[in-house]
Structure 1
Amino acid sequence: MNKKDYFFEDINTLIGHIVKFLDNPTPLKVQKSLYFLWAFYAATYGNIDYSKDTEFSKQEQYPRELFPAKFEAWTYGPVINSVFADYHQTNGFADISDSYDENGISDTNTKEVWSFVNDLLSQINEVNDFGLVERSHQDSAWKNTYKEGEKHCRMSNDEIKEDYINYVRQQSKI
Protein backbone atom coordinates (compact mmCIF):
# COMPACT_ATOMS: atom_id res chain seq x y z
CA MET A 1 0.00 0.00 0.00
CA ASN A 2 1.15 3.55 -0.63
CA LYS A 3 2.68 5.32 2.30
CA LYS A 4 0.88 8.50 1.20
CA ASP A 5 -2.15 9.25 -0.94
CA TYR A 6 -0.61 12.07 -2.95
CA PHE A 7 2.90 12.93 -4.04
CA PHE A 8 2.22 16.54 -3.01
CA GLU A 9 0.04 16.50 0.09
CA ASP A 10 0.14 20.33 -0.03
CA ILE A 11 -0.51 21.73 -3.51
CA ASN A 12 1.32 24.95 -2.57
CA THR A 13 4.63 23.05 -2.70
CA LEU A 14 3.98 22.33 -6.38
CA ILE A 15 2.60 25.81 -7.09
CA GLY A 16 5.75 27.37 -5.63
CA HIS A 17 7.88 25.26 -7.95
CA ILE A 18 5.71 26.00 -11.00
CA VAL A 19 5.87 29.76 -10.34
CA LYS A 20 9.66 29.73 -9.99
CA PHE A 21 10.14 27.36 -12.95
CA LEU A 22 8.03 29.13 -15.59
CA ASP A 23 9.36 32.18 -17.42
CA ASN A 24 5.97 33.91 -17.25
CA PRO A 25 3.85 32.31 -14.50
CA THR A 26 0.51 33.94 -15.24
CA PRO A 27 -2.44 32.68 -13.17
CA LEU A 28 -3.81 31.00 -16.30
CA LYS A 29 -0.52 29.24 -17.06
CA VAL A 30 -0.19 28.06 -13.46
CA GLN A 31 -3.74 26.64 -13.57
CA LYS A 32 -3.09 24.81 -16.84
CA SER A 33 0.25 23.53 -15.50
CA LEU A 34 -1.55 22.05 -12.51
CA TYR A 35 -4.12 20.44 -14.78
CA PHE A 36 -1.68 18.91 -17.27
CA LEU A 37 0.69 17.75 -14.52
CA TRP A 38 -2.15 16.11 -12.60
CA ALA A 39 -3.63 14.50 -15.73
CA PHE A 40 -0.41 13.08 -17.16
CA TYR A 41 0.73 11.86 -13.74
CA ALA A 42 -2.62 10.11 -13.20
CA ALA A 43 -2.35 8.42 -16.60
CA THR A 44 1.23 7.24 -16.06
CA TYR A 45 2.57 6.86 -12.50
CA GLY A 46 -0.94 6.86 -11.05
CA ASN A 47 -2.05 4.10 -13.40
CA ILE A 48 0.62 1.48 -12.73
CA ASP A 49 -0.84 -1.97 -12.11
CA TYR A 50 1.20 -3.29 -9.18
CA SER A 51 -0.59 -6.65 -9.22
CA LYS A 52 1.30 -7.70 -12.36
CA ASP A 53 4.84 -9.00 -12.15
CA THR A 54 6.77 -6.06 -13.58
CA GLU A 55 9.72 -3.90 -12.59
CA PHE A 56 7.22 -1.66 -10.75
CA SER A 57 5.72 -4.42 -8.61
CA LYS A 58 9.08 -4.91 -6.89
CA GLN A 59 9.51 -1.31 -5.75
CA GLU A 60 7.77 1.19 -3.54
CA GLN A 61 4.49 2.26 -5.10
CA TYR A 62 3.89 5.73 -6.45
CA PRO A 63 0.88 7.57 -5.02
CA ARG A 64 -2.17 7.33 -7.31
CA GLU A 65 -2.49 11.12 -7.61
CA LEU A 66 0.01 13.94 -7.83
CA PHE A 67 -2.03 16.14 -5.47
CA PRO A 68 -5.63 16.36 -4.23
CA ALA A 69 -7.50 17.95 -7.14
CA LYS A 70 -10.95 19.42 -7.64
CA PHE A 71 -10.93 20.76 -11.18
CA GLU A 72 -13.82 22.82 -12.49
CA ALA A 73 -14.66 23.51 -16.14
CA TRP A 74 -14.39 27.27 -16.67
CA THR A 75 -14.41 29.30 -19.88
CA TYR A 76 -10.63 29.17 -20.25
CA GLY A 77 -10.33 25.52 -19.32
CA PRO A 78 -9.86 23.55 -16.11
CA VAL A 79 -9.37 25.56 -12.91
CA ILE A 80 -8.88 24.68 -9.27
CA ASN A 81 -11.15 27.23 -7.62
CA SER A 82 -9.28 27.24 -4.29
CA VAL A 83 -6.02 28.12 -6.10
CA PHE A 84 -7.84 30.85 -8.05
CA ALA A 85 -9.31 32.25 -4.82
CA ASP A 86 -6.00 32.11 -2.92
CA TYR A 87 -4.24 33.95 -5.73
CA HIS A 88 -6.85 36.72 -5.81
CA GLN A 89 -7.19 37.03 -2.02
CA THR A 90 -3.46 37.29 -1.38
CA ASN A 91 -0.54 39.02 -3.03
CA GLY A 92 -0.76 36.75 -6.09
CA PHE A 93 2.30 34.54 -6.31
CA ALA A 94 4.67 37.14 -4.83
CA ASP A 95 4.98 35.46 -1.44
CA ILE A 96 5.15 31.85 -2.62
CA SER A 97 8.40 29.97 -2.22
CA ASP A 98 9.94 26.99 -3.98
CA SER A 99 11.20 24.27 -1.63
CA TYR A 100 12.49 22.06 -4.46
CA ASP A 101 16.14 21.12 -3.95
CA GLU A 102 17.42 18.57 -6.45
CA ASN A 103 20.51 17.86 -4.35
CA GLY A 104 18.43 17.08 -1.28
CA ILE A 105 16.55 14.20 -2.93
CA SER A 106 17.85 10.67 -2.40
CA ASP A 107 14.72 8.56 -2.98
CA THR A 108 14.55 7.15 -6.54
CA ASN A 109 10.75 7.53 -6.91
CA THR A 110 10.90 11.12 -5.66
CA LYS A 111 13.67 11.95 -8.15
CA GLU A 112 11.65 10.31 -10.92
CA VAL A 113 8.49 12.31 -10.18
CA TRP A 114 10.39 15.60 -9.91
CA SER A 115 12.04 14.83 -13.25
CA PHE A 116 8.59 14.18 -14.73
CA VAL A 117 7.32 17.50 -13.31
CA ASN A 118 10.28 19.46 -14.66
CA ASP A 119 10.13 17.80 -18.10
CA LEU A 120 6.44 18.58 -18.50
CA LEU A 121 6.89 22.13 -17.16
CA SER A 122 9.63 22.68 -19.76
CA GLN A 123 7.13 21.80 -22.47
CA ILE A 124 4.36 23.92 -20.94
CA ASN A 125 6.77 26.85 -20.66
CA GLU A 126 7.11 26.87 -24.47
CA VAL A 127 3.36 27.32 -25.07
CA ASN A 128 1.53 30.60 -24.59
CA ASP A 129 -1.49 30.88 -22.31
CA PHE A 130 -4.09 30.56 -25.03
CA GLY A 131 -2.30 27.65 -26.66
CA LEU A 132 -2.73 25.86 -23.32
CA VAL A 133 -6.39 26.90 -23.15
CA GLU A 134 -6.96 25.61 -26.68
CA ARG A 135 -5.26 22.31 -25.81
CA SER A 136 -7.33 21.85 -22.63
CA HIS A 137 -10.52 22.51 -24.61
CA GLN A 138 -9.79 19.35 -26.63
CA ASP A 139 -10.31 17.14 -23.59
CA SER A 140 -13.63 15.38 -23.34
CA ALA A 141 -13.57 15.78 -19.55
CA TRP A 142 -13.74 19.57 -20.03
CA LYS A 143 -16.12 19.47 -23.02
CA ASN A 144 -18.57 17.15 -21.25
CA THR A 145 -18.66 19.36 -18.15
CA TYR A 146 -18.39 22.96 -19.35
CA LYS A 147 -21.59 24.99 -19.45
CA GLU A 148 -21.47 28.43 -21.06
CA GLY A 149 -21.46 31.20 -18.48
CA GLU A 150 -21.27 28.88 -15.46
CA LYS A 151 -18.41 28.48 -13.04
CA HIS A 152 -17.98 25.71 -10.52
CA CYS A 153 -18.92 22.87 -12.87
CA ARG A 154 -16.97 20.06 -11.20
CA MET A 155 -14.96 17.90 -13.59
CA SER A 156 -14.60 14.17 -12.98
CA ASN A 157 -11.05 13.19 -12.02
CA ASP A 158 -11.76 9.72 -13.40
CA GLU A 159 -12.79 11.17 -16.76
CA ILE A 160 -9.68 13.38 -16.87
CA LYS A 161 -7.54 10.34 -16.11
CA GLU A 162 -9.23 8.31 -18.85
CA ASP A 163 -8.63 11.10 -21.40
CA TYR A 164 -4.95 11.07 -20.59
CA ILE A 165 -4.61 7.29 -20.46
CA ASN A 166 -5.91 7.37 -24.04
CA TYR A 167 -3.43 10.13 -25.00
CA VAL A 168 -0.54 8.16 -23.49
CA ARG A 169 -1.63 5.00 -25.34
CA GLN A 170 -1.87 6.91 -28.63
CA GLN A 171 1.62 8.33 -28.13
CA SER A 172 3.08 4.92 -27.36
CA LYS A 173 1.80 3.63 -30.73
CA ILE A 174 3.76 6.27 -32.64
Structure 2
Amino acid sequence: MSEQKRLAEGDAAPEFSLPDSTGEQVSLSDFRGRTVLVYFYPAAGTPGCTKQACDFRDNLAGLNDAGFDVIGISPDKPAKLAKFVADEKLTFPLLSDEGRAVLTEWGAYGEKQSYGRTITGVIRSTFVVGPDGKIAKALYNVKATGHVAKLRKDLGI
Protein backbone atom coordinates (compact mmCIF):
# COMPACT_ATOMS: atom_id res chain seq x y z
CA MET A 1 0.00 0.00 0.00
CA SER A 2 1.18 3.50 -0.70
CA GLU A 3 1.93 6.06 2.01
CA GLN A 4 -1.07 8.11 2.94
CA LYS A 5 -1.60 10.92 5.37
CA ARG A 6 -2.28 9.98 8.97
CA LEU A 7 -3.05 12.35 11.80
CA ALA A 8 -1.41 11.81 15.17
CA GLU A 9 -1.87 12.93 18.76
CA GLY A 10 -0.94 16.60 19.10
CA ASP A 11 -1.62 17.50 15.45
CA ALA A 12 -3.99 20.39 14.77
CA ALA A 13 -7.32 18.93 13.65
CA PRO A 14 -7.93 20.02 10.04
CA GLU A 15 -10.83 22.50 9.90
CA PHE A 16 -13.90 21.57 7.89
CA SER A 17 -17.30 22.94 7.01
CA LEU A 18 -19.71 20.41 5.53
CA PRO A 19 -23.48 20.13 5.02
CA ASP A 20 -25.42 18.02 7.50
CA SER A 21 -28.48 15.89 6.80
CA THR A 22 -30.64 19.04 6.55
CA GLY A 23 -28.21 20.89 4.28
CA GLU A 24 -27.01 23.24 7.06
CA GLN A 25 -23.25 23.86 7.21
CA VAL A 26 -21.50 22.48 10.29
CA SER A 27 -17.88 23.41 11.00
CA LEU A 28 -15.39 21.88 13.37
CA SER A 29 -14.79 25.39 14.73
CA ASP A 30 -18.46 25.41 15.90
CA PHE A 31 -17.29 23.01 18.63
CA ARG A 32 -14.18 24.93 19.74
CA GLY A 33 -13.91 24.78 23.52
CA ARG A 34 -15.57 21.34 23.62
CA THR A 35 -14.21 17.84 23.11
CA VAL A 36 -15.51 16.25 19.92
CA LEU A 37 -15.52 12.66 18.70
CA VAL A 38 -15.28 12.88 14.90
CA TYR A 39 -15.89 9.54 13.27
CA PHE A 40 -15.66 8.62 9.60
CA TYR A 41 -17.71 5.75 8.18
CA PRO A 42 -18.16 4.31 4.66
CA ALA A 43 -21.91 4.42 3.94
CA ALA A 44 -25.16 5.31 5.70
CA GLY A 45 -27.64 2.46 5.96
CA THR A 46 -25.16 -0.41 5.59
CA PRO A 47 -25.15 -3.01 8.39
CA GLY A 48 -21.81 -2.07 10.02
CA CYS A 49 -22.36 1.67 9.71
CA THR A 50 -25.88 1.36 11.10
CA LYS A 51 -24.60 -0.64 14.08
CA GLN A 52 -21.88 1.95 14.75
CA ALA A 53 -24.23 4.96 14.41
CA CYS A 54 -26.84 3.36 16.67
CA ASP A 55 -24.10 2.56 19.18
CA PHE A 56 -23.13 6.25 19.27
CA ARG A 57 -26.84 7.20 19.52
CA ASP A 58 -27.42 4.79 22.41
CA ASN A 59 -24.36 6.10 24.27
CA LEU A 60 -24.80 9.77 23.38
CA ALA A 61 -26.24 10.91 26.73
CA GLY A 62 -23.30 9.40 28.63
CA LEU A 63 -20.81 10.85 26.14
CA ASN A 64 -22.44 14.29 26.33
CA ASP A 65 -22.54 14.14 30.14
CA ALA A 66 -18.79 13.43 30.08
CA GLY A 67 -18.27 16.50 27.86
CA PHE A 68 -18.02 14.80 24.45
CA ASP A 69 -19.94 15.83 21.32
CA VAL A 70 -20.22 13.40 18.37
CA ILE A 71 -20.03 14.10 14.62
CA GLY A 72 -20.22 11.42 11.92
CA ILE A 73 -18.83 12.03 8.41
CA SER A 74 -19.30 9.96 5.24
CA PRO A 75 -19.28 10.55 1.48
CA ASP A 76 -23.09 10.17 1.37
CA LYS A 77 -25.31 12.92 -0.05
CA PRO A 78 -27.30 14.95 2.54
CA ALA A 79 -30.57 13.33 1.35
CA LYS A 80 -29.23 9.84 2.10
CA LEU A 81 -28.03 11.07 5.50
CA ALA A 82 -31.50 12.52 6.21
CA LYS A 83 -33.09 9.13 5.53
CA PHE A 84 -30.49 7.42 7.75
CA VAL A 85 -31.09 9.93 10.57
CA ALA A 86 -34.88 9.45 10.30
CA ASP A 87 -34.76 5.65 9.98
CA GLU A 88 -32.40 5.18 12.93
CA LYS A 89 -33.57 8.17 15.04
CA LEU A 90 -30.00 9.52 15.21
CA THR A 91 -29.54 12.52 17.47
CA PHE A 92 -26.12 13.86 16.48
CA PRO A 93 -24.91 15.54 13.28
CA LEU A 94 -24.03 13.46 10.24
CA LEU A 95 -22.05 15.40 7.66
CA SER A 96 -21.71 14.88 3.92
CA ASP A 97 -18.24 14.88 2.35
CA GLU A 98 -19.23 13.92 -1.20
CA GLY A 99 -15.92 15.11 -2.64
CA ARG A 100 -13.98 13.16 0.00
CA ALA A 101 -11.64 16.13 0.61
CA VAL A 102 -12.12 16.09 4.40
CA LEU A 103 -11.92 12.29 4.52
CA THR A 104 -8.61 12.48 2.65
CA GLU A 105 -7.23 15.34 4.75
CA TRP A 106 -7.92 13.39 7.94
CA GLY A 107 -6.37 10.20 6.50
CA ALA A 108 -9.74 8.43 6.49
CA TYR A 109 -9.86 7.81 2.73
CA GLY A 110 -7.34 5.81 0.75
CA GLU A 111 -6.03 2.33 0.25
CA LYS A 112 -7.21 -0.33 2.66
CA GLN A 113 -7.55 -4.08 2.86
CA SER A 114 -10.95 -5.62 2.28
CA TYR A 115 -11.33 -9.39 2.23
CA GLY A 116 -7.67 -9.77 1.30
CA ARG A 117 -7.76 -7.25 -1.55
CA THR A 118 -6.34 -3.74 -1.64
CA ILE A 119 -9.08 -1.25 -2.47
CA THR A 120 -9.56 2.50 -2.22
CA GLY A 121 -12.31 3.66 0.09
CA VAL A 122 -13.30 5.10 3.45
CA ILE A 123 -11.11 3.92 6.30
CA ARG A 124 -13.35 3.63 9.36
CA SER A 125 -11.67 6.02 11.79
CA THR A 126 -12.40 7.96 14.96
CA PHE A 127 -10.66 11.03 16.33
CA VAL A 128 -10.90 12.75 19.69
CA VAL A 129 -10.45 16.49 19.13
CA GLY A 130 -9.70 18.42 22.29
CA PRO A 131 -11.16 21.83 23.22
CA ASP A 132 -7.97 23.42 21.84
CA GLY A 133 -8.59 21.95 18.36
CA LYS A 134 -5.77 19.43 18.61
CA ILE A 135 -6.02 15.68 18.05
CA ALA A 136 -6.07 13.92 21.44
CA LYS A 137 -6.54 10.43 19.89
CA ALA A 138 -6.38 9.17 16.30
CA LEU A 139 -7.83 5.70 15.75
CA TYR A 140 -7.68 4.17 12.27
CA ASN A 141 -9.24 0.93 10.99
CA VAL A 142 -11.65 0.69 13.93
CA LYS A 143 -14.31 -2.00 14.08
CA ALA A 144 -17.95 -0.95 13.72
CA THR A 145 -19.15 -3.34 16.43
CA GLY A 146 -18.01 -2.69 19.98
CA HIS A 147 -16.10 0.45 19.02
CA VAL A 148 -18.07 2.85 21.24
CA ALA A 149 -17.68 0.57 24.29
CA LYS A 150 -13.91 0.39 23.68
CA LEU A 151 -13.77 4.16 23.18
CA ARG A 152 -15.65 4.77 26.43
CA LYS A 153 -13.27 2.44 28.27
CA ASP A 154 -10.17 4.06 26.74
CA LEU A 155 -11.49 7.55 27.58
CA GLY A 156 -12.56 6.56 31.10
CA ILE A 157 -16.23 7.40 30.51
Structure 2 length-normalised TM = 0.27
Which structure shows the higher helix fraction?
Answer: 1
Larger radius of gyration: 1
Which structure shows the higher strand fraction?
Answer: 2
Structure 1 length-normalised TM = 0.25
